[in-house]
Structure 1
């Protein structure tokens, strides 16, 4: 239980994978740390997602070391995060059912909880840049059409025999299209404002989403421009192979500013049967959904694949009140993770939305944040205006955190890139 008199070196808000890893490295650094989590258990957003939701990378790219991952779906991900807590005996420093309000104070932070106030010298925001489901505020006039955000679709079998309208162009929309095909929707329409690059494939998402091929591109010495050109050429070939030329994005692929989403094989195989409309929902009235191009549809259900926004309402920092996306949050950070608005505040996952191994990236990030807090590293305040992909993160952090990257680190990490079997996780950075 949180004690009102507790004084911490580091307060960590959020007990998802980032918060749990952050606590592990705080303890390794000898810092007094505690995680505050509003939910009754660890797992972050994965505690809220339906059982069908899975990760977009291979199982080996999610976990670390020999901590097992039994599968790639939400229950497996929650169990893996819980395994972190058990393996490293972290539970005693995690306060569950504890929503907070964090306010800057001289020399640190005040963390207000229902049980009283806790002080901390530093604050790590580990609530993620995608933690609140987003549904566009379209006009609704006595609408009778059922609506579900992807996070609220608990039973995809309910789509059987239904007329479905999927809205969005990102990963969530591709998931919903795939589910609609898999569970026998009668007809499927897809409305989207723009397009995003993804990897057309007949392989399951967790196979197609492996980052090991990209890791080898990095290890080969390719520049970012060469990496982008190589990946785009491969993608264009795949789009042509699967007859998807109609949804090739009009802009070039850029590893520094875009995420590479794995394709969904059922959606690709049945692409010709999906009615695609390059428009947004304008308004909904009675049983009709009208799009911005004038198209009128009468679906049984609208499935919002419109993703998530950042919810930083627990932070008493006016400059961050309007931040809703990882891109916006990046503009408020320097040194990769440090807030430019208030001192002693750090954000995880900023700039890590491109290509990479989730847990490995968090581990490198959290280790260096704790080194900075201890005074053995200096992350600086220079803004990073692009993605830091995969092992580029080590290259970025090494000169700023030399204690964590001793002489010869380049060979160690290159060997890790080239010799770690594709079906095995990277080791836990020490």
Structure 2
């Protein structure tokens, strides 16, 4: 049977794979995009029903297409976001093959390139872009055993309050997902506990501008990637309910019981670290730092933006923050469900290359792997702070595609090195 061949194989048909396809096409590089499910599948089925984008439509998009029919300042729904990606892929004629899973990719010694085994057959390619991103496999820490009799799900599988068994809910993780889910459950009348770890907490908007604008004019989107292993910073921000600053004091005063970082479980009791007040204080400091930088920018540039002193008003401490809980007896508190908003792990076991560190994370420079002809896209802090965002991955994809184009141009050279005398001699 004839094996199909292409220059570059892109693995993953989400925002990273679509961006890669656009730039590869612009560089006239033959390629195929393989997606094991459907285009934008994570946005279609891997999010809760009420999720909206965390950035406004004018900002969180690819440069070459607007969210037609949506207000520029709207935080679009997950379904609208998925449709945007589908429409964009169609616009650029991305060669996406849905329902094709990559099983293994191995280098072909002495021949060059890779042999890729897929659920639909084999493909030979010169280069591989792993565009599966960072959010591949939900992680639930092994803290509460199954025999505890508590329903446990990852936030990836949470859909809505009605999905859960009657009773109180423990949400572990106060990044954007955990905080928004806790807020939604509390609004639905559930008794909610929220485990709050270290986090950044930017203002949703300030002085009439969204925080994404502030990060832009302050140059913070282009912050260089930190040292390996320190890239992940939990950020609690929300576009829900029209976009409100995520304030844990407000949530606490509205009924959410705040706790510190979840530490362990024994004899029906979930225990917490004594770091709640410190974590909230550090989040407050991050919030105030952004306000201070914004005020300094206004002072420096003279831009006419209204003052907003009320943004610095601090809500009173709720009881759960003033006197933090050290633990809760799940049965006594009526907790029937734990939602783990505890992140994801990467999985590149299909790529049989020495391209990873001891943690299994890609070793790369702006997406260019240490392994020849291997590239990565969609990683947090791949090149800058904005790499995880739609527009950020688009710019990262351009860089990767340009590096591939450079290699292609060298590969087309058919001359040979020779001593050539100057014409002037």
Q: Distance between the aligned counterparts of 1:102 and 1:108, measured in 2?
A: 10
TM-aligned CA deviation for residue 218 of structure 1: 2.3
User: Does the Cα contact within 8 Å between 2:140 and 2:342 map onto a contact in 1?
Assistant: yes
Q: State the match for 2:129 in structure 1.
A: 124
TM-aligned CA deviation for residue 128 of structure 1: 0.2
Does residue 337 (structure 1) correspond to residue 318 (structure 2)? The answer is no
Secondary structure in structure 2 of the residue aligned to 1:98:
coil
Distance of aligned partners of 1:49 and 1:105 in 2 relative to their CA distance in 1, 3 Å threshold: farther
RMSD, matched Cα: 3.3
Does residue 354 (structure 1) correspond to residue 385 (structure 2)? The answer is yes
Q: Distance between the aligned counterparts of 1:209 and 1:150, measured in 2?
A: 26
Does residue 191 (structure 1) correspond to residue 195 (structure 2)? The answer is yes
TM-aligned CA deviation for residue 214 of structure 1: 1.6
1:152-301 equivalent positions in 2, closer than 5 A:
152-158=157-163, 162-185=167-190, 187-192=191-196, 194-201=197-204, 210-218=211-219, 258=233, 260-263=235-238, 265=245, 268=248, 269-272=250-253, 273-283=255-265, 288-291=268-271, 295-298=327-330, 299-301=335-337
Q: Distance between the aligned counterparts of 1:357 and 1:136, measured in 2?
A: 24
- Which residue of 31, 39, 42 corresponds with 1:42? 39
Q: Distance between the aligned counterparts of 2:162 and 2:203, measured in 1?
A: 25
Distance of aligned partners of 1:256 and 1:133 in 2 relative to their CA distance in 1, 3 Å threshold: closer
Secondary structure in structure 1 of the residue aligned to 2:390:
helix
User: Does the Cα contact within 8 Å between 2:4 and 2:123 map onto a contact in 1?
Assistant: yes
Count of residue pairs brought into register by the alignment: 328
Q: State the match for 1:73 in structure 2.
A: 77
Q: Scaled by the length of structure 2, what TM-score is found?
A: 0.68
Secondary structure in structure 1 of the residue aligned to 2:149:
coil
User: Does the Cα contact within 8 Å between 2:386 and 2:392 map onto a contact in 1?
Assistant: no
User: Does the Cα contact within 8 Å between 2:185 and 2:192 map onto a contact in 1?
Assistant: yes
TM-aligned CA deviation for residue 141 of structure 1: 5.4
TM-aligned CA deviation for residue 158 of structure 1: 4.5
Secondary structure in structure 2 of the residue aligned to 1:199:
coil
Q: State the match for 1:230 in structure 2.
A: none
Secondary structure in structure 2 of the residue aligned to 1:42:
coil
TM-aligned CA deviation for residue 4 of structure 1: 5.4
Q: Distance between the aligned counterparts of 1:265 and 1:4, measured in 2?
A: 57
User: Does the Cα contact within 8 Å between 1:224 and 1:256 map onto a contact in 2?
Assistant: no
TM-aligned CA deviation for residue 377 of structure 1: 10
User: Does the Cα contact within 8 Å between 1:211 and 1:357 map onto a contact in 2?
Assistant: no
Structure 2 unmatched runs, 5+: 225-229, 239-243, 274-325, 410-425
